């Protein structure tokens, strides 16, 4: 696979660290496929002109993709216009909650897609610091014995591997 000139920025906004951890996995998988990867927090990404692809990640909070992710995409819309983009998010509730909440979370990329059309999107399990209180578990339909760490390294790596195929020059 010839990936010469395929420079990828994996940028993220994180709250508990799992989104940054996912960015590191994505960048490592793409680098192993010959892509030149850079990892950066959205607040430190700077100009995007040197990248061919920009991957944006952030967690879900309040049943929405973190506003900083949308703002990053909005503020760089003209730069992203002619680049490949991909979006990912981390969501504990998507992995554990009821189908109603999973469906809500599956719509979180809609505002970003109105700005730029990504080549792919993904939702991965996240982490919470401690078990949710009973009322919150009830509201979200989360079983009492649900683990607090649903971070999915293998799923993240598989997504990045598929993304490498999508991004490879023809």
User: What per-residue confidence (pLDDT) applies to 170?
Assistant: 61
What's the pTM value of the predicted model, to 2 decimals? 0.92
**In three state form, how does the secondary structure of the chain look?**
CCCCCCEEEEEECCCCCHHHHHHHHHHHHHHHCCCEEEEEEHHHCCCCCCCCEEEEEEEEECCEECHHHHHHHHHCHHHHCCCEEEEEEECHHHHHCCHHHHHHHHCCCHHHHCCCCCCEEEEECCECCCCCCHHHHHHHCCCCCCCCECCCHHHHHHHHHHHHHHHCCC
Here the tokens at position 7 are 């420079």
Provide the mean pLDDT of the chain. Answer: 92
Residue-wise pLDDT for 132-154, tens only, equals: 999 999 999 999 999 999 989 99
CATH number of the domain enclosing 129 = 3.40.50.360
2 within a domain of the structure (yes/no): no
Residue-wise pLDDT for 41-50, tens only, equals: 999 998 899 9
Residue-wise pLDDT for 31-83, tens only, equals: 999 999 999 999 999 889 999 999 999 999 889 999 999 999 999 999 998 89
State the residue range of the domain holding 86.
7-167
Question: How many structural domains compose the chain?
Answer: 1
Question: Is 25 in contact with 157 (CB distance < 8 Å)?
Answer: yes
Beta-carbon contacts of 166 under 8 Å, excluding residues fewer than 6 positions away, are 84, 119, 120
Distance between start and end Cα atoms, the chain: 9
1 within a domain of the structure (yes/no): no
Q: Above 60 in pLDDT, residue 1?
A: no
65 within a domain of the structure (yes/no): yes
Q: 5: pLDDT confidence band, cut at 50, 70 and 90? A: low
């Amino acid at each position: 696979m010839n990936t010469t000139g395929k420079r990828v920025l994996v940028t993220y906004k994180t709250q508990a660290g799992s989104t940054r951890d996912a960015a590191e996995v994505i960048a490592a998988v793409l680098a192993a496929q010959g892509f030149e990867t850079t990892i950066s927090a959205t607040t430190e990404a700077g100009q995007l002109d040197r990248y061919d692809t920009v991957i944006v990640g952030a967690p879900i909070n309040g049943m929405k993709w973190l506003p900083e992710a949308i703002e990053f995409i909005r503020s760089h819309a003209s730069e992203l216009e002619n680049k490949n983009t991909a979006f990912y998010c981390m969501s504990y509730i998507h992995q554990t909650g009821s189908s109603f909440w999973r469906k809500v979370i599956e719509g979180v990329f809609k505002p970003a897609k109105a700005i730029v059309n990504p080549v792919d999107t993904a939702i991965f399990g996240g982490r919470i610091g401690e078990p949710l209180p009973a009322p919150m578990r009830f509201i979200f339909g989360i079983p009492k014995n649900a683990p607090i760490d649903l971070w999915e390294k293998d799923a993240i790596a598989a997504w990045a591997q598929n993304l490498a195929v999508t991004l490879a020059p023809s």
